[in-house]
Amino acid sequence: MNAALPSPQPGAATGGSANLSSGVRAVLEAADLSRAVTRIAHEILERTKGGSDVVLLGIPTRGVGLARRLAERMSEVEGRSFAAGSLDITMYRDDLRLRPARALAHTDVPGGDVDGKLVVLVDDVLFSGRTIRAALDALGELGRPRAVQLAVLVDRGHRELPIKADYVGKNLPTSRHEQVTVLIEEVDGRDAVLLSPAEGAAQ
Amino acid sequence: MTKHLISAGDLSRDDALLILDTATQLARLADRPIKKLPTLRGRTVVNLFYEDSTRTRTSFEAAAKRLSADVINFSAKGSSVSKGESLKDTALTLEAMGADGVVIRHQASGAPHRLANWIKGSVVNAGDGTHEHPTQALLDAFTMRRHLGNLESRRVAIVGDVLHSRVARSNVLLLNTLGAEVTLVAPPTLLPVGVEGWPCGHSFDLDSVLAKTDVVMMLRVQRERMNDSYFPNAREYSRRYGLDAARMAMLPEHAIVMHPGPMNRGMEIAAEVADSMRSVIVEQVANGVSVRMAVLYLLLGGNVSAIGAESSEPSTSSERELEPADTGQRRRRSDFAGEEA
């Protein structure tokens, strides 16, 4: 979902310390993020009555790491293993024609197919909803799930499409000009959610 | 920004790896029930083929269609070309029809380069005379990577009619970019003049090369481009430069056998070798679709090409670009309306 913004450069994120003076603040620290993931894992299990037919699909890049963590927590709680996969949505984006073609990410569906399964899409930030729209298109070509649900770490509002998350780590009211950056250990070497004011003119 | 794919030598290492990595992801599409992506919906790709081709044209057609592009196939036979229309006029006609990408195969070396100056869309070279065939080199590199992993300091022998082979030239350039060590093996008459200046080694003795080779790529003897006798007879060529079972046994355990096709079984490659476990020839064809999808996606998928994103100018510098072999078959100037550069 970050993609709705100028994509969250790892550089911009790691440059966080330098930006601190300019008003970057951590909305969630590592422990908060971990508690949010644990709560979502419980909610998924509760809502899906044990999650017997749940397939977790993360949206690259950071959604994949979050999906993997959810699968780990769910496995711990239920005592049986849940697998997490990834769903690349690049080819289905509605802003493809607005910039050079991007490198593709990996699509990997645990168990091979999604037919008749309950797919939980996992992403880091829910913003315009356009990423999820693309993800639904991508998913439709992989098979026909029984149902699709959406789990996000941060819902920052400003939806441009009629899309709503089923599981939310934190509702974060933001201005359009602000930037939300999710950092996760696997990618960024640190767990956090940062809120920074827009740099210069807003997009 | 490199809007066109004319020469494998224009690709930087990063570009080449981006194409190969993209192709790796796209290859997975073949396992899906719906082998189609919406990415190039509304884009038009013209296949402009002045030379006979089965595999390359169908491969480009399949690639474009899997990306949902509209495909117009144009072959010189049965078109206005047989009425004397020049390449430029044909190009402008296609341009007027709104072609976003033109895939061109032409018997004249350099035709895609000329075409690129005449039309606004992207030009992809699908083989020009004895010059280059960059997507073949990319699919060969893709196939090698699947079997051998990283190509850094891998040893590749390209054997046969190098003189007339655009596949050999593109492979030498690309494999050099990717860090592989290439050795061209051919009778002296079938090596191009100036091969010493190519970024590769060469040898006249196949047997001495085989034992230390990770990939052996056999080339077809292109009789249709020959207007001289380059070797005494087919039997002698085959005995000295053909890959048979005995020679294949000299290869290291992990080595693979490739051929860009079409094959002349019994000539440059024995049937038992072509059908052996080491042969990846059929796989090369399947990989061709994935690689061409990657090229079309990266050239046409965004607002501007994603290839050569860092460099502002395509490197058409003379040191990277090898001159086409002087094969005696002169460029047909009549194909080039307009002024020669």
The pLDDT value recorded for residue B309 is 67
Is B36's CB within 8 Å of A141's CB?
Answer: yes
Q: List chain A residues with CB under 8 Å of B300.
A: 101
**Structural domains in chain B, sorted by start:** 8-132+285-314 (3.40.50.1370), 134-281 (3.40.50.1370)
Task: Judge whether A195 lies within some domain.
Answer: no
Q: Are the beta carbons of B306 and A100 separated by less than 8 Å?
A: yes
- Ranking A17-21, A146-150, B127-131 by mean pLDDT, the lowest is A17-21
CA B262, CA B281: separation in Å to the nearest integer? 10
| Inside any domain, residue A16 | no
Quick one: closest CA in A to B67, which residue?
A91
Q: ipTM of the assembly?
A: 0.81
Size of interface A-B (CB pairs under 8 A): 55
CATH number at residue A53: 3.40.50.2020
Inter-chain CB proximity A100 and B309 less than 8 Å: yes
B334 CB burial (10 A radius; 0-12, 13-18, 19+): exposed
pLDDT of residue A4: 43
Is A102 within 8 Å of B302 when comparing Cβ atoms?
Answer: yes
pLDDT at B329: 41
> Using an 8 Å Cβ cutoff, are B219 and B162 in contact?
yes
- Number of structural domains (chain A) is 1
Tens-digit pLDDT profile for residues A74-83: 999 999 999 9
Determine contact, residues A114/A54, Cβ cutoff 8 Å: no
Task: Give catalytic residues of B, as residue numbers.
Answer: 55-56, 83, 105, 133
Distance in angstroms (rounded) separating the CA atoms of residues B329 and B14: 35
Chain A: give the shortest CA distance to residue B302, in Å: 4
Assess if residue A45 is contained within a domain: yes
**Displacement of CA B249 from its chain's centroid (Å):** 28
Q: How far is A146 from chain B (nearest CA, A)?
A: 17
Cβ burial of A203 (10 Å; 0-12, 13-18, 19+) is exposed
* Residue B34 sits at the chain A interface (C-beta within 8 Å): yes
Task: Please check whether residue B78 touches A, CB under 8 A.
Answer: no
User: In a 3-state reduction of DSSP, which class is residue B9?
Assistant: helix
* Residue A182 in domain: no
Residue A112 structural domain: 30-174
Contact B38 A92 (CB under 8 A): yes
Along chain B (341 residues), what's the average pLDDT of each consecutive run of 10 residues? 89 96 92 89 94 91 96 83 85 89 95 94 95 97 96 96 95 97 96 94 96 96 80 91 96 96 93 96 95 96 80 38 42 39 34
Flag whether residue A141 sits within 8 Å of chain B, measured between CB atoms. yes
A95-114 residues touching B, CB cutoff 8 A: 96-107
Q: For CA atoms A183, A188, A189, A194, give the dihedral sign.
A: negative
The answer to the question of residue A122 being in a domain is yes
pLDDT at B318: 36
